[in-house]
Amino acid sequence: MDFLEFLEAMTGNWILFVTVILVLLVIMINGWTDAPNAIATVVSTKAMTPKNAVLMAAVFNFIGVLVMTAVNASVAATLYKIVDFGNNSADALAALCAALIGILIWATAAWYFGIPTSESHALIAGISGAAIALQGGFAGINGAEWVKVLYGLGLSTVLGFGSGWIIVKLIELICRRMNRRKTTIFFRRAQVAGGASMAFMHGAQDGQKFMGVFLLGIALAQGNVGTTSFAVPLWLMILASLVMGLGTSVGGYRIIKTVGMDMVKLKEYEGFASDISAAGGLLLSSLFGIPVSTTHMKTTAIMGVGAAKRLSNVKWSVVRDLALTWVLTFPGCGLIGFLMAKLFINLF
């Protein structure tokens, strides 16, 4: 389907129109609430002003969606196939829309309280809860794809923390005899590149997840419940990246403060280490088609960097609040998706 065919189909099908609007809203709120994690450190160390960092993030989110999807769309494929909504396309579409509304509720509440929740996990949990409601059990869950989510959860924790710890130690070893003033200037500039790479990888990972759901919605709206393969059209890459960039440009200073300022007080080289660690982990995950959370990867990298100096350097009370939110995301969004799906199916 090219873009003109898509527009024609959407104007002639109000259900498809509503589905598209909901998916685009979820993409925008991801750029609004999740993308600020990518630039939290570059703002906290004052390497960039919040305004310039947000603009940079918007641009590199856009590029990340385009480049990574063109190179490897396996993350989008994983999200596309993670649930089975059954053979009734109308009920399936109602369940999907219900899940998307649940995600919007959860993400907005998390932003209001300044908690950097994972929209990726909210998305997965929401559509899984809706599939369970629709199928009346766990038959709607594709275990082979869901296990990749669990792999991603473990990978983002271990790889983020471990690589953050190792990279900051290497930097300290290499720069131990160098002029402190010169290295500070260097790493302040390097942080801009690190922040750009994080924004790029956020678009590469999260953009693919939401495009998978976008394509699932189009297939269901057209009555195609058995579709198992797809191709991501260029116009969808551009549309998703533009909407995500728009969301990022709205800003998310509350999230930036929690991740980049409250959890660990970072110096310039530490901020650079956390950015490179998280970006590397996201790149590795994207290439292997494992859906991971940008929020998890970035925050665990910051924890690893802080713990490399001493454990007390990390404010574990903030970490506890973050971890509690992460743990609650799956059951919370799953339950919201389940209840909203039951409601929508009965109403429509």
pLDDT digits (tens, 9 = 90+) for 280-309: 988 888 777 777 777 778 888 888 888 887
Whether 329 and 106 have beta carbons less than 8 Å apart is answered as yes
DSSP code for 314: B
Closest CA to 198 of 248, 253, 153, 261: 248
pLDDT digits (tens, 9 = 90+) for 21-31: 988 998 888 77
**pLDDT surpasses 70 at 328:** yes
Which tokens is 295 given?
A: 């929020």
Instruction: Please state the pTM of the whole predicted model.
Output: 0.76
Containing domain of residue 85, as a range? 3-347
Domain count, the chain: 1
Q: What is the DSSP string of 160-183?
A: HHHHHHHHHHHHHHHTTTS-HHHH
- Cα distances (angstroms) measured from residue 145 to each of 17, 48, 74: 28, 39, 11
